[in-house]
Amino acid sequence: MPCWRPNRQRTVGRSPVAAEYYCADSENGDHIDDPSEDALFDLISELNDTGNTFVVIQPDQDDPVWFASVAVHDEGGYEIVRHDTTHREHHVTTENGIDRITSDLIIWLAARDFQNTA
């Protein structure tokens, strides 16, 4: 399934047609193609425990082989899931610092295989 295209779209530096590498979607409808570390920081910092509880980052293609998600954790902080079927990875961690989360995500995203890009 390609990136979720919610009603509200925040496009950074590109047209809303398709992401070159990956896109980020939040529960409240924000969508960013190829988000920078700063854009991910903003999306995560806007999470709350009511109507905007998660952000998903994945390739903009049908049947993506990897994804990462950040969700508000019930006990405070955030739960981070990194899943990549190609590399047989599935890691779930918790973290409090958004700086650390975004830095780690950018590094992890840089190591993904970008097949079938636009």
Q: What is the mean pLDDT of each run of 10 residues along the chain (118 residues)?
A: 45 49 94 95 96 95 93 95 94 97 95 61
- 106, part of any domain: yes
Question: How many structural domains comprise the chain?
Answer: 1
pLDDT of residue 1: 43
pTM, entire model: 0.81
66 in a structural domain: yes
What pLDDT was estimated at residue 5? 43
Is 102 a domain residue? yes
Domain with 29 in it: 23-110
The residue among 45, 72, 73, 59 whose CA lies nearest residue 113 is: 59
Residue 8 lies in a domain: no
In a domain, 27, yes or no: yes
Tell me, yes or no, whether 38 lies in a domain: yes
Per the domain annotation, does 9 fall within a domain?
no
